[in-house]
Structure 1
Amino acid sequence: MSERRTRRQAALAAANETPTKSDAPRDIGENGDAHVSAATPKTAAGPAENIFLFWPNLIGYFRIVLAIASLYYMPLHPRTCSLLYSISCLLDALDGYAARHFNQSTRFGAVLDMVTDRCTTSCLLVFLSSAFPRWAIVFQGLISLDFASHYIHMYATLAMGGSAESHKNVDKSRSWLLNLYYTNKTVLFITCALNELFFIALYLLSFSSPLLSPQLLQTVGEPKAAAAIQNGAQVNSSIISQLFTNPYSAAALEMARANKMDSTWPWILAGVSAPVMIIKNVLNIVQLVKASKWLAEGDVEARRIAALAKAKKG
């Protein structure tokens, strides 16, 4: 009787025993490192990391701030807008370097980087659509191609390659061109930089070239300008208003008209970067087609397996 009671007490003790950290279930992460699963108590997990405060992601947030500031100045201040926009684009290379240097590569950071790139470029193309209405359908097509290509490519990578697979891991057998584009950092940087440079050059030409923007030949008479400034002027001596002037005021409009730009350098930049811009959009088409075919291959295989399973049941 006492022996049976002892066994029962031992079984109860084993059932109520709290699992230690070594006994906790573990999963294998994308880098091959084991990590404690979500079912593990918080006390058994290691120190939590704040992914949102990683250096690459902080750089990404700063890029967004610069992009928003460039949009603020885009309608009437081409020099300020171009400077802010260019810095935001160049920081795209810095966040990748920071991710490798600090070993802080994350899926959130990759998505943040891609979304920032797509949004900033599309915002600039929207402005170009209004600056060159006759070519609006071309800019709208470029926006659609850019978003569709990257979305389908990202989705195909996750669906077919797994959640741990990076969208930059493109096998040569699938596309040697995309493999070169994504794996060679020099090719990737030059292609993206010159693609953005072409659209920045077009943006500057909308303020400097009467050939592309005939409205630049129109002048505003001094009496009319003075009256507009008089009616729209706002006196505000605060520090904030001095740092962030209103780009929509009548005074800013007259300043933009009076301070016309020379179109020589924008034309040169557009001519140099135009071939790369074309190559970049060819890559978008290739990426769209290859990703679509990859998804179709998965659908065919899934339907084949489902048909075999149905035949066995029948």
Structure 2
Amino acid sequence: GYVRLLLLVIAFGSLNWSPVFFLVAYTTSIILDGLDGYTARKFGQCSYFGAWFDVVQDNISRGLLWAHLHPLLSLISALEWMTFTCTHTLGAEWRSTLIEKPPSVQKPPVVVAKVLQNNFRSLFGIWAISGLHVLPIWLFGMQYEIFSQYLIFVPEFIPYLGVIILVSGRLLCGLCEAWCCWTHIQELLVNTTHVKCRVQKVNN
């Protein structure tokens, strides 16, 4: 986790003078994140702090990258932080909580359930997660002409095809994020109503 954090600091520190070096360091940090998560799950070394720390690093790194691409894209980062706040209140098993034991407000839509099921290990889940993690890197590569200058062996249509696939995946992920936030808001409203009712009964 801390090695990844160091890589992110190095990556963003080199952003202005070497986009290629930034891309290598940033991508390496993501790969290390995946390996770290896999190793922790395999050897039973998962922790609440580790899970929280990984998401925080993800959100910070993507937020900085979105803001670099365009200031208005910071709104995507804002949605990610809102979703993290809402899901974190449900604990480490928030995915299964939302699917198997949905809140009293409503059950998840079919599309959302398909994304969340089996810990994102499904076609819809992979599609959404790819849009979440890969889209900002992909757009960065196009903005700095990484494909045309350094990946000349890649057919010209691939970058644009990738944008279509990743943008649609990010929209799918955004739908899930919006649903999580809306569900959390409804739960807050329901709980607030229950508290008011109990207070009124006590006062009476």
TM-score, normalised to structure 1, is: 0.52
* Aligned residue type for 2:93: S
Aligned to 1:145: 79
Could you say if the C-alpha distance between residues 184 and 143 of structure 1 is closer, same or farther in structure 2, counting changes exceeding 3 Å?
Answer: closer
Percent identical = 16
Q: CA deviation at 1:107?
A: 0.9
Range 88-97 or range 278-287, more displaced: 278-287
Aligned to 2:138: 201
Aligned residues: CA RMSD = 3.0
Could you say if the C-alpha distance between residues 142 and 304 of structure 1 is closer, same or farther in structure 2, counting changes exceeding 3 Å?
Answer: closer
Which of 149, 155, 163 is the aligned partner of 1:261?
149
> Map of 1:98-109 to 2, 5 A cutoff?
98-109=39-50
Which of 154, 160, 167 is the aligned partner of 2:94?
167
Does the 8 Å contact 1:153/1:167 carry over to 2? Answer: yes
Does the 8 Å contact 1:202/1:270 carry over to 2? Answer: no
Q: CA deviation at 1:301?
A: 4.1
> Map of 1:247-286 to 2, 5 A cutoff?
261=149, 265=154, 268-286=158-176
Q: CA deviation at 1:303?
A: 2.2
Match of 2:99, SS? coil
> Map of 1:6-17 to 2, 5 A cutoff?
none
* Aligned residue type for 1:271: L
Q: CA deviation at 1:102?
A: 1.3
Aligned to 1:73: 14
Task: Report how many residues are paired.
Answer: 191
Match of 1:152, SS? helix
State which structure, 1 or 2, has the greater radius of gyration over its C-alpha atoms: 1
How far apart in 2 are the matches of 1:61 and 1:291? 29
How far apart in 1 are the matches of 2:74 and 2:157? 22
TM-score, normalised to structure 2, is: 0.75
Could you say if the C-alpha distance between residues 200 and 312 of structure 1 is closer, same or farther in structure 2, counting changes exceeding 3 Å?
Answer: closer
> Map of 1:201-220 to 2, 5 A cutoff?
201-208=138-145
Structure 2 gaps, min length 5: 101-106
Aligned to 2:26: 85
How far apart in 1 are the matches of 2:80 and 2:194? 33
